[in-house]
Amino acid sequence: MKDIRKEIAGIIASQAGLSEEEALALIEIPPESSKGDYAFPCFKLAKVLRKAPPLIAADIAAKIRDNALFEKVENVNAYVNMFIDKQFFTRLTLEDVAERGDDFGKSDVGGGKTVIVEYSSPNIAKPFHIGHIRSTVIGNAIYKLYDAVGYKVVRINHLGDYGTQFGKMITAYRHWGSEEEVRKEPIKTLLSYYVRFHKEAENDPSLDQEARETFYRLEHGEEEEVRIWEWFRSESLKEFERVYGMLGITFDSYNGESFYSDKMPAVIEELKEKGLLQESQGAQIVDLSQWNMAPALITKSDGSSLYITRDIAAAIYRKKTYDFYKCIYVVASQQNLHFQQWFKVLELMGYDWYKDCVHINFGLVSLEDGTMSTREGRVVFLEDVLNRAVEKTAEIVREKGVNTENIEETSKIVGIGAVIFQELSNSRIKDYVFNWDNVLNFDGETGPYVQYTHARAASVLKNAGVSGSFDVKNMDLSAICSGSAYELIKEIYRFPEVIRDAADKYEPSVLTRHIVDVAQAFNKFYHDEHILVEDETEKNAKLLLTSAAKQTIKNGLALLGMQAPDKM
C-alpha cells in the first residue's frame, strides 16, 4: 500500500528545505479529525528560515495546496493541516485489504533476517501459574509481530530444568515421595514436596546440604539422579503442553538450561583465558564494579554452575547456530540486573553482537494478599484460570442465548481470548494484582467486545449473501462518504503502520489498543449508517467497508494469539 505519510514528507521536504527523513519525523496525526488527516508543525523551522512559525506554515500551505493528493490544506497558527482526498484514500485502503486478505498488515521490513524470541520458560516440576502468562502471551505476540514484518523467527522455550532446586526436589521425593502420586498429578504433587522441603529444612539444615550434594551428582551425570530428573521433566512437559494447547501456542525448541550443561566448561575456560575470572571465597566471579554492578557469579565454591553461566553458553550457542539479527528475551523486570550483568560479560568477552541481545521486561503479577510464592505453595495455576474463564463464558453464552452452533467451542475461543486480551491491553511494564473479576470482566474495551464486533460484521455480510470477494477496482465507492465511514477507513489504513510500531517497541498493547479503535469505529459506522439499503451501488460499497473492518479485526486478533468467531 502507498505510504501516504512518506509521500507527504516528500512534498513538504521540497518546499521547506528539509530532507524527506527530517520532514517524516515531524508529521503528526491530529487528535481531532477537524484539524486534518495529517499535520506538519513548523516550530523547528523558525531558526533555519528566520521566520515566525505561523508565517512558515502559511507559506508551505500555499505551495502544496494544489497537489492532487489533498482535498484541502489549511494553515492554523504554526501548523499546516492537510486533508487527504477522501475518494483516493478510500479506494487505496479498501483495494489493499481486499487484495491481501489474511496478509493485510504484513510487510517485508525484516528482509528474512533471523530473530530469536525466548519466552514462557517455566520451571519443570513447579506450577505453571498465572505469573507465567505474562512471558507466555507477550512473547507469543512479539513472535507473531516480528513474523508479520518479515523476519524469520525462532521460538525458544528456555525451560528451567536445571539448578539446585532439582537437588531439593529429588531429595524431597526420596524422603516423602510416591511414584503413584507423581504420575497421578505431577505438578501439584511435586509442588507439595517442594513446599515440604523448605518447611522441613528450617528445622533440619542437613537437608540443604543433602540437596546440594544431590544436584552435584545430577550435574556430573550420576545415573539415578539423571533418571529421576528426566522423569520429572517428562511429566512436567505433558502438563505444560496441555496449557500451551489451550492457548494455541507452539515452540520451535524446548532447549532449556540443561541443554547447555556440556557447553559451560568451554565458556568457563574462555573466561579464564581472557583474564576475566577471579576467585572470591572459593567461587569464580567476573568483577563488574567498574560498571556499578555486583560481581557476576560464574561458579559456586563447590564448582556447580549458575543461571548466568548457562545464559552465556546459550547466547554463544544460538549465535553460532542461528546467526541471529536479534535475540529477544521476554523475562520479568525483576531480572533486569541479571541481564545487565551477563550482557556486560558477553561484551567483555569481545562479542560485539552482545548489543543484539535484547531483554524485554514486564511488570509482575501479585495476588491480592501479596506476592506469589512457590516455596509456600501460594500460587494460582494458569490452567485453572483458563478453565474458569471458559466456564464463565459458557454461562454468559447460555444466559444471553448467543447464536452459536457449538457453545463449548465458542466459550473456549472467547474465554481464553478474554484472558489473553486482558494481559496484552496495558503496557507490559506495569505491575498488576491478579483479580478474578477483572480477568473475567467482559464489558468495556475487552477481548469479547472486539470478538463480538467481528461476529457482528460477519453477520451483516452473511445476511447480505456475501460469500466471495469484491471486484473493488470496478466498484463505485462514492457512497462511502459519511464521517463515521471515513474515520473507520482511517483506522483500517493505519493497521500496517501500527504493526510495525508495535514490533519496533516490543509492545503488543500498541496493537491491542488499535484493534479496539477499529472495533469502536466499525460499531459507530454500523449504528450511524443503514448498510443493507436498496441502492445496490451504495449497499455494495458499505459491505466492502464492513468486510475490510472484519478482515482487519481478524488479522489483529491473530497477531495477539486469538481467534475471531463468526458467531457470538
pLDDT tens column, 325-348: 999 999 999 999 999 999 999 999
**H-assigned helices in 17-124:** 20-26, 46-49, 53-64, 86-100
pLDDT at 376: 58
- State residue 33's pLDDT score: 87
Q: Is the pLDDT of residue 534 over 80?
A: yes
Distance set, CA 185 to CA 189, 246, 391, 449 (Å): 6, 19, 22, 36
> What pLDDT is stored for residue 375 in this prediction?
57
Return d(Cα 260, Cα 317) in angstroms, integer.
Answer: 8
Per the listing, cell 441502492 goes with: 535
- Which amino acid makes up residue 160? G
Kindly name the residue from 63, 86, 106, 129 that is annotated as catalytic. 129
From 126, 158, 392, 514, active-site residue: 126
Going by C-alpha positions, the residue among 180, 159, 162 that lies closest to residue 225 is 162
The mean pLDDT of 56-81, rounded to a whole number, is 95
* 129 catalytic per annotation: yes
* pTM for the structure as a whole: 0.91
Average pLDDT value for the chain: 92
- Give the integer Cα–Cα distance in Å for 366 and 372: 6
Distance CA 346, CA 319 (A): 12
How is residue 73 annotated by DSSP?
A: E
Q: Is there a contact between 378 and 367 (Cβ–Cβ < 8 Å)?
A: yes
Phi, psi of 306 (to 5 degrees): -130, 175
Q: Is the pLDDT of residue 520 over 90?
A: yes
User: Which pLDDT belongs to residue 443?
Assistant: 72
Model pLDDT, residue 163: 79
- Looking at residue 441, the DSSP 8-state letter turns out to be -
Position with higher pLDDT, 67 vs 305: 67
What is the per-residue pLDDT for 437? Answer: 73
Number of neighbours of residue 179 by Cβ within 10 angstroms: 10
Beta strands in 179-286 (DSSP E): 277-280, 283-286
> Given this model, what pLDDT does residue 481 score?
85
Q: Please say whether the beta carbons of 444 and 410 come within 8 A.
A: no
Q: Which domains does the chain have, with CATH numbers?
A: 4-84 (3.30.1360.70), 114-263+305-366 (3.40.50.620)
Q: Is 132 noted as a catalytic residue in this protein?
A: yes
DSSP state of 443: S
Out of 185-199, 276-290, 420-434, the most confident range is: 276-290
Percentage of the chain with pLDDT > 70?
97
CA 496 to CA 2: how far, in whole Å? 11
Q: Which of 132, 158, 359, 490 is catalytic?
A: 132
Per the CB < 8 A criterion, the answer to whether 235 and 186 are in contact is: yes
Question: 219 pLDDT band (50/70/90 cuts)?
Answer: confident
Are 212 and 167 in contact, with CB atoms under 8 Å apart? yes
What is the bridge-based pairing of β-strands 114-118 and 79-84?
Answer: unpaired
Q: Which of 62-71, 122-131, 290-299 has the lowest mean pLDDT?
A: 122-131
274 has catalytic annotation: no
Cell matching residue 60: 508551505
pLDDT band at 128 (very low <50, low <70, confident <90, very high): confident
194-203, 432-441, 450-459: least confident range = 432-441
Label residue 433 by pLDDT band (50, 70, 90): confident
Q: Do the strands 114-118 and 326-330 form a parallel or antiparallel pair, or are they unpaired?
A: parallel
